[in-house]
Amino acid sequence: LGLSFRNCNELNNIIDDQLPVRSLKWHRTEFRLQDTEETAVLWHRNLLDAVQLLFEEPRFGKVLVFGPEKHYIDEAKEYRLLLEMWTGNWWWRLQTQLPAGATIIPLILGSDKALLTQHSGDCYGYPIYVSIGNLPKAIRRTPSQRGTLLLGYLPTNKFDSMGLSEESAKLARHRLFHRCVSYLLKDTIPAAKDGILWTAGDGLVRRCYPILGAWMADYPEQCLVTCTRY
């Protein structure tokens, strides 16, 4: 099989280059904002490739949900039971605007800027994750199920060493965040408009519409995502 190795470096090369695993390639994209001299680097995977990987995963074939549902807690059907994304009104409203047979794939993004060092500088990591609302939340929240994927690392430039005021540096950071997110989402625009044919985990081909449905974040980041003053 050609899987023999003599040291850890050879083993890592075999894992990276020879084993038949489904993986996503990493890309490096540089940004430079107007009136700034710093170059910001976005490390990322292709968003559509990540969503397709989740949607076509055979392990999820029996648990994927492809359409909205209404659940009730009483026989008179007066009180709704809202447990999963497909039981809410948003999916129902959107479904009526698409052609018959359309399969909505609600994109769930999440980000959380985290401090990586203590007592030795203020280095931050800014991971961004993606999952899909067709998966039950129990699977999305369980790391071992791999229902949520690492999409990339947003840049953490501070813009505080270029003579900018504190307010201008803050605005530059916000602009950089939205520019990176727009770049990550750009491939979903034509797919959300016209649909794209994918084979789901159950083996059936469906016309899918990947549409941003939710963003998981703490309150300060919610304000950043929605362009609201904090």
Say how many domains are in the chain: 1
Residue 134 one-letter amino acid: N
Q: Write down the pLDDT at residue 35.
A: 74
Question: What confidence tens digit (pLDDT) does each residue in 136-191 have?
Answer: 999 999 999 999 999 999 999 888 777 778 888 888 899 999 999 999 999 999 99
Residue 29 inside a domain? The answer is yes
Of 6 and 163, which is predicted with more confidence? 6
13 found inside a domain: no
What per-residue confidence (pLDDT) applies to 230?
Answer: 78
pLDDT digits (tens, 9 = 90+) for 92-147: 999 999 999 999 999 999 999 888 877 666 788 999 999 999 999 999 999 999 99
In this prediction, residue 169 carries a pLDDT of: 86
Question: Is 169 within the bounds of a domain?
Answer: yes
Residue 176 covered by a domain: yes
Q: What is the pLDDT of residue 165?
A: 85
Per residue in 29-85, pLDDT (tens digit) is: 999 887 777 899 999 999 999 999 999 999 999 999 999 999 999 999 999 999 999
pLDDT for 145 equals: 93
pLDDT of residue 19: 65
Question: Is 4 a member of any domain?
Answer: no
In which band, very low, low, confident or very high, does the pLDDT at 3 lie, cut at 50, 70 and 90? confident
Q: Which domain holds residue 87?
A: 24-225
